[in-house]
Amino acid sequence: MDGSVVPDSTRPIRALVRGLDALAVLPRIESFLLRCVAALPGLGRMREGVKRLTSQLLLGMRPLHSPGRAARFAVSTAVIWSLDTLVALALARSMDIGMSPMAAIIVLAALGLASSLPSTPGYLGIYQFVAVSVLPPFGIGPAPALAFVLLFQAVIYLVSIVSGVAGVFALGAARRADPAAQASLDSSSAQRP
């Protein structure tokens, strides 16, 4: 051997298995976890908040214990990521940017992580920074990366606006079609101060 480190290609699979194990086990040992939080020293007044946060986190994991619901979640996730990747690749191709599927997936994951950071409305600035930082190792320069992410954001907003408007009209039609639901909504809004 020349002393170089060979990357462990099974690491992502092992991490996925550990994550699935945690999703399966943690909600089943909630009482034990809450006792552990209660026993932690130094939390003081934060103890109840940490216990509540732990309970809410575990409550969010419980729906995945239903095999049908977990399967729908997994399929939906795969479909959404596939569609996002295809849109990113189509946009890159329309701009004559040579983007590989792996580059598209990585930039989408980075944009997803970046959306959790504090930012300006519409993530203006942070998305551009991420694209300009993530895409150059894939042979995409800063200017094409910036152009790509601006167009990608525009497409995201366009789809969101069209879907939202369609949803509002569908909701209005559903409310008009069900007089009992409309009466219930009218009576609850009349009771508000």
The residues, ordered by sequence, that sit 6+ positions from 130 with a Cβ below 8 Å of its Cβ are 107, 110, 111, 114, 149
Residue 192 — pLDDT band, cuts 50, 70, 90?
Answer: low
Does any domain span residue 20? yes
Does any domain span residue 109? no
88-115 pLDDT tens trace: 999 999 999 999 999 999 999 999 888 8
Does any domain span residue 49? yes
Does any domain span residue 129? no
Does any domain span residue 56? yes
Does any domain span residue 2? no
28-84 pLDDT tens trace: 888 888 888 888 887 778 888 888 888 888 888 888 778 888 889 889 999 999 999
Does any domain span residue 23? yes
Structure tokens at 58: 């575990």
Q: How many CA atoms lie within 13 A of 155 on its CB side?
A: 16
In the predicted structure, residue 185 carries a pLDDT above the cut 70: no
Does any domain span residue 143? no
State how many domains the chain has.
1
Contact status, residue 126 vs residue 146, Cβ threshold 8 Å: no
Range of the domain at 19: 10-65
CA distances from 95 to 89, 103, 131 (A): 10, 15, 15
Closest by CA position to 19, among listed 56, 75, 74, 68: 74
